[in-house]
Amino acid sequence: MRPALLLLSLLLLFLGGCGRRQTVNPIPTIFPEATPAAVTTVPPAPTATPGIASLRDGLGHPNWQVRLATARRLPERPDIPAAERAAILLEALEREIASPGDLPPPEGAYLSADALLRLQLTRTLSELGPEAEPALRRAVESGPDALRARAILALGLAGEADVAPEVRALLRESDDEEIRMTAARVLGILNDRDAIPDLERALSDPFSATGKDHGGSFTIYPVREQAGGALEALGMTVERLDNDQFRLLHP
């Protein structure tokens, strides 16, 4: 009995399984809708990596800290083309410029949360690599003034030396203290010795801010600070005096 059953099973297996392989692939044509249905039964990953749409949402989140966190994750997402990341970051930066949240400085900071966020977005743009450069240059060419300035700074932070003249102009002429302080820093990064006169003048920049941290309240002159740092990076010697005064000591 058992050998007979075994033989019968093998025969059925052959007819039902092996034999079908020789037919002309009927399943895709007969049940073309089967595949998508099967896919829908697969549960999504519990912690899905956010796609570009989710990242765009994160950059528009009402909470500025979520916007900051989303932006700072973008350099770590090589799976998304840098051009796309640059595009959504520039969109976000434009929104932040156009509609600041009037947020106070967060704990320990001397700049408002809006300003910190704009600084971080600009830094992040500089960290996306060469593939992001075309998007930044387009913004330089055709973007609104405030966005254009930050695109220039991002290129400078990324080491693109050709923007140095425009950065110097920003340091000299911008009435936006965030831009001036970053421009000063960028000139040091670019090792732009032509900027020394502008940087020396920036050591007397009038912009000051106050903050409060573990040592209590403090005053800072951010443009002077960054100009002093840039001059030191250029090999100059800067002396820090009392009351946030700086003096360039020529070598």
Residues engaged in binding other proteins (CB under 8 A)? 63, 65-66, 68-69, 71-73, 104-111, 115-116, 119-120, 123, 181-182, 185, 211, 213-216, 218, 220, 222, 225-226, 228-229, 232, 238-240
Give 157 or 164: the residue with its C-beta nearer to other proteins.
Answer: 157
CB of 131 to other proteins, least distance (A): 21
CB of 143 to other proteins, least distance (A): 23
149 Rama sector, left if φ>0, alpha if ψ -120 to 50, beta otherwise: alpha
Question: Amino acid identity, residue 145?
Answer: D
Give 40 or 217: the residue with its C-beta nearer to other proteins.
Answer: 217
211-227 burial, b for 16+ CB within 10 Å, e for fewer?
Answer: beeeeeeeeebbbbbbb
**Cα pseudo-dihedral 113, 115, 120, 125, rounded to 10:** 140
In the beta sheet, which residues pair with residue 54? none
CB of 108 to other proteins, least distance (A): 5
Give 90 or 181: the residue with its C-beta nearer to other proteins.
Answer: 181
CB of 212 to other proteins, least distance (A): 9
The candidate with the shortest Cα–Cα distance to 55, out of 93, 92, 83, 98, is 92
Give 30 or 249: the residue with its C-beta nearer to other proteins.
Answer: 249
CB of 223 to other proteins, least distance (A): 10
CA distance 151 to 148: 5
